[in-house]
Amino acid sequence: MNPTANALPAAAERTNLLAKVGPMSKLKIFVELTKPRIVMLELVAVLITLHIATGYGAPGSRWSASLLLAVSVGTGLVAGSANALNQWIERERDARMPRTKGRPLPSGRLSPDEALWFGAFSLAFGASLLMFFAGTTAAMVAVATWVVYVALYTPLKTKTWLNTAVGAVSGAMPLWIGWAAGGGDLLDPLALSIVATMFVWQFPHFMAIAWLCRDDYTIAGYQMSTKLDPSGRWAGLQAVIGSAVLLPVSLAPMVFGAASPVAYAVVVGLAGLVMLATSAAFLAERTNPIARRLMRASLLYVPVWLAALWFCVG
């Protein structure tokens, strides 16, 4: 199929669709454009790194409710902008995948221009909030993350299966926003171990999805590991390697300042072993049920890991 074929609803049909939407529903569609579930989970991670970096409760702590609010709204707006621009770029390919064809742009519930203006204003407002209330470093990390996701990862999706590693950088960098806003040094070993944990986690997380959505990605012309190796063994191997590296990297905070290192090690170590076992099962047998189990395990891992950071490290 011609990858540039315009699979969007005709302009007249889109106008008709847009006419039916009231202001509140329109707001909901803009929220949908931001991929809110991904952004919310990312924000929880960002606020926990902020909490740890401020030395909450310690004398001279930088923690304050206004800083928490600025980092939440600022980072949320920049992340939402990144997802809006990603969908603006991918709107015609999204229209060809069952998983994404119901999104605001392919379905015609938003016009491309609306998404573009929303993305521009969200980026400007979010970066400004971070600049004025969380500091220049936090704002610069947020904008750099936006650039990696929108200008590097998104175009690479149709070029090389290595796009996933670039996407994982954009998925991990936001934790530096919280750390910088909390007054931490980006190269602090504790910060590096937290960011690295989020980076490696994304490989088992996405390799399961790359298998589950392999037909979608082929139809849309994306280059994923399951396109490179349709048997799924390469995706399975990346999931196992990612989970194997995740174990030691995620346990590093034990030596970099965890207040309760043993409790942290038990919780995060067990969660990491579940990820490794589920990834190994996926490598051994690439089936949809096993891949779904790995995706669910990956989505359970993050809240468990973040809770351990909050209670045992922060």
Ligand X SMILES: CC(C)=CCC/C(C)=C/CC/C(C)=C/COP(=O)(O)OP(=O)(O)O
Which CB atom, from 94 or from 114, has the smaller least distance to ligand X?
94
Cβ neighbours of residue 27 closer than 8 Å, sequence gap 6 or more: none
Q: Does 306 bind ligand HEM (CB under 6 A)?
A: no
Class of residue 12 by CB neighbours under 10 A (exposed 0-12, middle 13-18, buried 19+) = exposed
Q: Taking CB under 6 A as the rule, which mask of x and - marks residues 218-257 in contact with ligand X?
A: ----------------------------------------
Q: Report how far residue 153's alpha carbon sits from residue 162's, in angstroms, rounded to the nearest whole number.
A: 9
Q: Does 41 bind ligand HEM (CB under 6 A)?
A: yes
Alpha-carbon torsion 121, 123, 127, 133, what sign?
Answer: positive
Work out what residue 299 binds among ligand HEM, ligand X, none; the CB cut-off runs from 5 to 8 Å by kind: ligand HEM
Q: Which two tokens stand for residue 188?
A: 């602090």
Q: Residue 302, Cβ neighbours under 10 Å: how many?
A: 18
Q: Does 296 bind ligand HEM (CB under 6 A)?
A: no
* Closest residue to ligand HEM in the complex (CB): 171
Class of residue 246 by CB neighbours under 10 A (exposed 0-12, middle 13-18, buried 19+) = buried
Which CB atom, from 180 or from 209, has the smaller least distance to ligand HEM?
209
Q: Taking CB under 6 A as the rule, which mask of x and - marks residues 19-58 in contact with ligand X?
A: -------------------x---x----------------
The one among 33, 52, 127, 142 contacting ligand X by CB under 6 A: 142
Q: Report how far residue 8's alpha carbon sits from residue 31's, in angstroms, rounded to the nearest whole number.
A: 21
- CA distances, 130 to each of 63, 117, 139, 240, 267 (Å): 15, 20, 5, 37, 33
- In this chain, which stretch among 107-115, 139-147, 188-196, 248-256 interacts with ligand X, using CB under 6 A? 139-147
Work out what residue 209 binds among ligand X, ligand HEM, none; the CB cut-off runs from 5 to 8 Å by kind: ligand HEM
Q: Does 159 bind ligand HEM (CB under 6 A)?
A: no
**Apex 175 CA angle, 169 and 178, nearest 5:** 145
- CA distances, 70 to each of 113, 122, 129, 198, 266 (Å): 28, 14, 6, 22, 34
As measured in angstroms, the least distance from the Cβ of 32 to ligand X is: 12
Binding residues with ligand X: total (CB under 6 A): 17
Question: Which of the residues 161 through 190 are near ligand X (CB under 6 A)?
Answer: 167, 170-171, 174
Q: Does 168 bind ligand HEM (CB under 6 A)?
A: yes
- Residue 259 in 3-state DSSP? coil
As measured in angstroms, the least distance from the Cβ of 291 to ligand X is: 16
- CA distances, 83 to each of 1, 30, 114, 127 (Å): 26, 11, 14, 15
Question: Which of the residues 195 through 234 are near ligand HEM (CB under 6 A)?
Answer: 202, 205-206, 209
The one among 49, 54, 86, 137 contacting ligand X by CB under 6 A: 86
As measured in angstroms, the least distance from the Cβ of 130 to ligand HEM is: 18
Largest CA distance in the chain: 63
Binding site for ligand HEM (CB under 6 A): 37-38, 41-42, 45, 99, 164, 167-168, 171, 202, 205-206, 209, 299, 302
Point out which residues bind ligand X (CB under 6 A): 38, 42, 75, 78-79, 82-83, 86, 142, 145-146, 149, 153, 167, 170-171, 174
